[in-house]
Amino acid sequence: MDDRTDRLVSRARSVIPGGAQTGLRAQAYELGDIAFEAAEGATLTTVAGESLTDYHLAFGPVLLGHGHEAVDAAAKAAIDSGVLYGAATTELEVEVAERLVDLLPSVELVNFCNSGSEATYHAIRLARAHTGNEKILKFEGCYHGWHDYVDVSVYPPPAELDERNRSTDAGPELDPYPESDGMLSAAVDSTVVVPFNDPDALRAAMERHGDDLAGVILEPVPHSVGCLRPTDPFLDALEAETDARDVPLVFDEVITGFRHSAHGMQAELDVTPDLTCVAKAMGNGYPVAAVGGRADLLAQAGGDHESGVVISGTYSGSPMGLAAARETLDIVEAEDVPERVGALGDRYREGLGDLLDDHGIEGRVVGYGSIFSVQFGVTGEPRDYGDVAGLDGDRFREFAAGMRERGHFFTPNPYKRHHLSLAHTDDHLAAYLDDADEVLAGLSA
Ligand SMILES: Cc1ncc(COP(=O)(O)O)c(C=O)c1O
């Protein structure tokens, strides 16, 4: 035990609910008290002076590694020129908007904001205004932020899954599960939930609610539950159903955007969404996000604040975030970052999968590109949340604790993922696999 850590965490608990800014961040305490004071490259330094290889990367944004010199220099230069203007526009804002229009195949107009939740909120308001409808269709296991419009059926309790899935008279539709106390029931009741990767369920729900639907939102690769890969029939049904009914299709690319491809997951999957939300890897850790999409949808927000759709935010388009984004996006594209870091991801997945086999441990390694998750007690390719919900969380926490003792940090939440960055190397890989070998060998039966 380290005195400084103890004192700091105890002070945190006395002035911050749970001692961390979010419940998910507080889960790190399941590995013992810990507090951070520096981050560089792929390494975190704790207040106890410990160095940990960072596989958490703040839930994903830090694609180029911590303290990337060029990105930080760009952000600092922007601050030196002026922190916030809050009227009309700036050249930087125009340049980054042009960049997103250029990079993301479906995007014609762009609005900036500061977080993924804001981006999905704006997207849904635009979709509701366009259709005049209120219902939103989402998929079980997809996370789109903390607001009432979407924080539904992300991690419904596994124990209630069967009962819940069958308690509705609406065929394969699922009962919406509010993820938080205090949510507006009207928002929850306006959410139609179907399983991911189930084209028949999607068609049935579209048939049933099509005239009342404002939009369909999904993570194109749901990483909120590790990794679900969308099947072609599912993607075909998504495009066909939303096109036929003029219901905006919203791609939440908050995790996938720029991490899996400089042109978004939409380019990889060859799907053209109507609205796209990006955040995280766009700014390498700086707070910057955007909603973009079809010109007629976004143009609804181009009014005079008294007509059309209100999109607002004092800090939207902050020069610091945008300067970081401009530099990050340049590097992502020029240095083939998704491909390079993704190839390292393949080596982690392969190595870790071999170790599970060697030790005869029931489990699987899932992932895509620079993201991977090890899930214990479940096997086979997961198609939907139901295939993930039975995983063995205790075993994962044991694994996370053993790895943390050996200098590798990731959140002990079994649904979450490891992220890699440009700063991770084959040496990190070798050390990770060596230590994972030892930890897996010692996992309780
Ligand atoms: C897919 C997805 N969408 C939206 C969000 C919300 O983003 P933020 O935490 O920046 O509000 C997240 C955050 O993890 C996410 O993973």
Helix (H) or strand (E) holding 276: strand 275-278
Distance between CA atoms of residues 238 and 297, nearest Å: 19
Identity at 410, one-letter amino acid code: F
The strands making up 249-252's β-sheet, listed across from edge to edge, are 109-113, 289-293, 275-278, 249-252, 213-218, 135-139, 191-194
Q: CATH no. for residue 402? A: 3.90.1150.10
The alpha carbon of 258 and the centre of ligand 1 are apart by a number of angstroms equal to 14
Residues 244 and 139 in one domain: yes
Residues 11 and 121 in one domain: no
Residues 199 and 263 in one domain: yes
In sequence order, what DSSP letters do the residues of 342-406 get, joined into one string? HHHHHHHHHHHHHHHHHTT--EEEEEETTEEEEEET--S---SGGGTTT--HHHHHHHHHHHHHT
CA 253 to ligand 1: nearest atom: 1
Identity at 94, one-letter amino acid code: V
Residues 80 and 185 in one domain: yes
Residues 303 and 435 in one domain: no
Distance between CA atoms of residues 297 and 274, nearest Å: 8
What is the model's pLDDT at position 167? 53
Residues 367 and 290 in one domain: no
Q: 169: pLDDT confidence band, cut at 50, 70 and 90?
A: low
Please, which contacts does 39-46 make with residues 24 or more away whose CB atoms are closer than 8 Å? 39/66, 39/67, 40/66, 40/67, 41/65, 41/66, 41/67, 41/423, 42/66, 42/421, 42/423, 42/424, 42/425, 42/428, 44/409, 46/5
The strands making up 51-54's β-sheet, listed across from edge to edge, are 36-40, 43-46, 51-54, 408-409
Q: 161: pLDDT confidence band, cut at 50, 70 and 90?
A: confident
What is the model's pLDDT at position 281? 98
Residues 174 and 266 in one domain: yes
Mutate-to-test residue for ligand 1 from 113, 144, 151, 276, highest number of ligand atoms within 8 A of CB: 144
Helix ranges (H only) for 255-360 are 264-269, 295-298, 319-334, 337-358
| Burial of 288 from C-beta contacts in 10 A (0-12 / 13-18 / 19+) | buried
The alpha carbon of 434 and the centre of ligand 1 are apart by a number of angstroms equal to 32
Distance between CA atoms of residues 233 and 205, nearest Å: 16
Residues 310 and 417 in one domain: no
Average pLDDT value for the chain: 96
CB proximity list for 183: less than 8 A, separation 6 or greater? 148, 151, 152
Per the structure, the count of domains in the chain is 2
Residues 328 and 343 in one domain: no
CA 256 to ligand 1: nearest atom: 1
The alpha carbon of 14 and the centre of ligand 1 are apart by a number of angstroms equal to 27
Q: Which of 334, 358, 393 is the last residue of a domain?
A: 334
Q: 193: pLDDT confidence band, cut at 50, 70 and 90?
A: very high
The alpha carbon of 430 and the centre of ligand 1 are apart by a number of angstroms equal to 31
Q: Which of 313, 334, 355 is the last residue of a domain?
A: 334
**Cβ atoms 149, 124 nearer than 8 A:** yes
Q: Which of 334, 351, 379 is the last residue of a domain?
A: 334
DSSP designation for 160: G
DSSP designation for 24: H
Q: Mind listing the pLDDT tens digit for each residue in 3-57?
A: 999 999 999 999 999 999 999 999 999 999 999 999 999 999 999 999 999 999 9
Mutate-to-test residue for ligand 1 from 219, 254, 368, highest number of ligand atoms within 8 A of CB: 254
Q: 170: pLDDT confidence band, cut at 50, 70 and 90?
A: low
Domain that includes residue 34, residue range = 3-67+336-442
CB within 6 Å of ligand 1 — which residues?
Answer: 59, 115-117, 120, 143-145, 219, 224, 252, 254-255, 279
Q: Mind listing the pLDDT tens digit for each residue in 260-299?
A: 999 999 999 999 999 999 999 999 999 999 999 999 999 9
Residues 31 and 132 in one domain: no
Q: CATH no. for residue 134? A: 3.40.640.10
**Cβ atoms 253, 220 nearer than 8 A:** yes
Residues 195 and 303 in one domain: yes
Q: Closest Cα to atom 3, ligand 1: which residue?
A: 144
The alpha carbon of 118 and the centre of ligand 1 are apart by a number of angstroms equal to 9
| Token couple for 401 | 């604790």
Residues 162 and 200 in one domain: yes
